[in-house]
Amino acid sequence: MSIDVGGHLKAVRMMYGLSQRELAKRAGVTNGTISLIEQNRVSPSVSSLKKVLDGVPMSLADFFTLDLQETPQVFYAREELADIGDRDVSLRLVAAKRTNRAMTIMHERYRPKADTGADMLSHKGEEGGIILTGHIELTVGGQSRVLGPGDAYYFASAVPHRFRNVGEEPCEIVSASTPPTF
Partner DNA sequence: GAAAATTGTCTATTATCCTAAACACTTCCC
Partner DNA sequence: GGGAAGTGTTTAGGATAATAGACAATTTTC
Residue at 163: amino acid letter: F
Contact 173, 131 (CB under 8 A): yes
Q: Is 150 in the site for its own copies (CB under 8 A)?
A: yes
Binding its own copies (rule: CB under 8 A), the pick from 19, 30, 39, 143 is 143
C-alpha 96/C-alpha 69 separation (Å) is 17
Residue 114 touches which member of DNA, its own copies, none, C-beta under 5-8 Å by kind: none
Residue 79 per-residue DSSP state? G
Binding DNA (rule: CB under 7 A), the pick from 8, 9, 12, 37 is 37
Coil/strand/helix, residue 152: strand
Q: Is 82 in the site for its own copies (CB under 8 A)?
A: no
Q: Is 107 in the site for its own copies (CB under 8 A)?
A: yes
What separation in angstroms does the CA of 74 have from each of 80, 98, 129, 149? 12, 10, 21, 28
Q: Which is nearer to its own copies, 20 or 108 (CB)?
A: 108
Q: Is 113 in the site for DNA (CB under 7 A)?
A: no
Binding DNA (rule: CB under 7 A), the pick from 4, 15, 16, 43 is 43
Q: Is 91 in the site for its own copies (CB under 8 A)?
A: no
Q: Is 89 in the site for its own copies (CB under 8 A)?
A: no
Q: What are phi and psi of 126, to 5 degrees?
A: -135, 155
Binding its own copies (rule: CB under 8 A), the pick from 48, 116, 119, 166 is 48
Can you give 8-30 as a three-state secondary structure string?
A: HHHHHHHHCCCCHHHHHHHHCCC
Sign of CA dihedral 10, 11, 17, 23: negative
Binding its own copies (rule: CB under 8 A), the pick from 4, 21, 141, 169 is 141
By CB under 7 A, the residues from 10 to 29 that bind DNA are 19-22, 28-29
Q: Is 162 in the site for its own copies (CB under 8 A)?
A: no
Of residues 181, 175, 157, the one with CA closest to residue 106: 175
List interacting residues with DNA (CB under 7 A). Answer: 19-22, 28-33, 35-39, 41-45, 47-49
